[in-house]
Amino acid sequence: MSLTEQFNAAAEKVKSLTKRPSDEEFLELYALFKQASVGDNNTNKPGLLDLKGKAKWEWWNKQKGKSTEDAQKEYIAFVEQLVSKYA
């Protein structure tokens, strides 16, 4: 199975979690997914009142410079941790 196929399978596994991850875990998951699927964050930072959007933007921005392959590998490993914890 290719890395991209493993990444897509991990993205599907997340949907099967029976409990919601913590906010920090969710933000890490989001950031790794965006870095792996879109690449570096080059969007405008959300406004001060958009707390949720701002948090997601900041976590994604921390991943800047990480290759798609590395982000996919980290995402897959992180999903496995979440599955063992929340599935």
Q: Give pTM, 2 decimals.
A: 0.94
CA angle in degrees (0–180, nearest 5) for 74-32-79: 55
Q: pLDDT digit string (tens) for 32-80?
A: 999 999 999 999 999 999 999 999 999 999 999 999 999 999 999 999 9
pLDDT at residue 87 tops 90: no
Residue type, 7: F
Distance, CA of 24 to CA of 45 (rounded, Å) = 19
Scanning 1-87, the segments in alpha helix (DSSP H) are 3-14, 23-37, 51-61, 68-86
Between 87 and 31, the more confident residue is 31
Domains and CATH numbers, the chain: 3-86 (1.20.80.10)
